[in-house]
Structure 1
Amino acid sequence: MTDHADTFWKRIDDSNSGMLGLTEDPRLVPMSHYSDRDAGALWFITARGTDLASSLTPGGKPAIHVVSDGGQGLYTRIHGTLSLSEDRAKLDELWNAVASSWFEDGKQDPDVQLLRFDLTEAEVWATGGSLSFMYQIAKSKITGDKPDMGEHYSLRF
């Protein structure tokens, strides 16, 4: 993987949420993601009855996940295929206190639904984060130079 890909995966690991939806539907919903670099995927835990989970068909649908995390210096629009998953081992691996807050019977709750998002491409803006932003703005005022706002690149998975 390139340095850009490394930056992407490290920063997406440090960021924990974004807005997820299907490309055919302009409504995006806030969701916490769990990265799986080896699989080139992001995972989500949701409820079976949500509009998003209910709209997925076998084989999945084209989807988008948008992450905007100024503290981590990551802004990205990720495209891929979102599908339902019944992978209990992956659910066991991902399950945590945050997820358990949403389900009365924990991971055994019949409403728990795992989603797999297989990434195809991403457009990424990687900055130094909020402190770096403030430094760059102050520096530009002193030097007259344009602030260095980081890197902008695209990735294919």
Structure 2
Amino acid sequence: MTDHNHQFWSRLDDINSGMLGVTSDPRLVPMSHYADRKAGVLWFITAKGTDLANSVAQGAQPAIHVVSDGGQGLYARIHGQLSLSDNAAKLDELWNAVASSWFEDGRQDPDVQLLRLDLTEAEVWATGGKVSFLYQIAKSKITGDKPDMGDHYSLTF
């Protein structure tokens, strides 16, 4: 039997980005996420004044993060509460070369803003990845059976 919670977090750890937005605005934007399994949180580094930062400036808002990665075999719609965070220690922990390329003064840039997505639920499709997909399609052509595309489940955090 598959431990769906473990499967979700393990595969999410190997995916770098997804599309993030607040549910009151249909526009999602590409964002790199940093998963904190123990806390049930996804962290994002953005700039002050972005639409996302402005949308949660007055407090947490319902949000969605969508990931799609055929190589890792994970497709998920993740819901939670998005808020601003001034957690300097967490920002120091997450800071990396990718984040620094977006900010002229690096980690000390006054425009750096940390976002926190406290997860509430996720709908997940977990497949075997690209090789498994090709195998399942070929097998279905030979046997006439429908391909087994993996697990589909929901998680509550």
* TM, length-normalised to structure 2: 0.97
Unaligned 5+ segments in structure 1 are none
Which amino acid in 1 is paired with 2:150?
G
Is the Cα contact below 8 Å between 1:58 and 1:84 reproduced in 2?
Answer: no
The percent of aligned pairs where both chains have the same amino acid is 81
Give CA deviations for 1:91-141 in whole Å, capped at 9, x if unaligned: 111111110110111111000000000000000000011111011101111
Distance 1:51 1:27 in 2: 10
| Superposed displacement of residue 59, structure 1 | 3.6
RMSD: 1.0
Q: In the alignment, what sits opposite 1:98?
A: 98
Distance 1:26 1:71 in 2: 27
Give CA deviations for 1:45-103 in whole Å, capped at 9, x if unaligned: 00001111012134411000011111111100011000000101101111111101101
Which amino acid in 1 is paired with 2:142?
I
Unaligned 5+ segments in structure 2 are none
Is the Cα contact below 8 Å between 1:21 and 1:27 reproduced in 2?
Answer: yes
Is the Cα contact below 8 Å between 1:127 and 1:151 reproduced in 2?
Answer: yes
Q: Classify the secondary structure of the residue corresponding to 2:72.
A: coil
Which amino acid in 1 is paired with 2:23?
T
Distance 2:14 2:136 in 1: 22
Distance 1:33 1:49 in 2: 19
* TM, length-normalised to structure 1: 0.97
Distance 2:57 2:100 in 1: 26
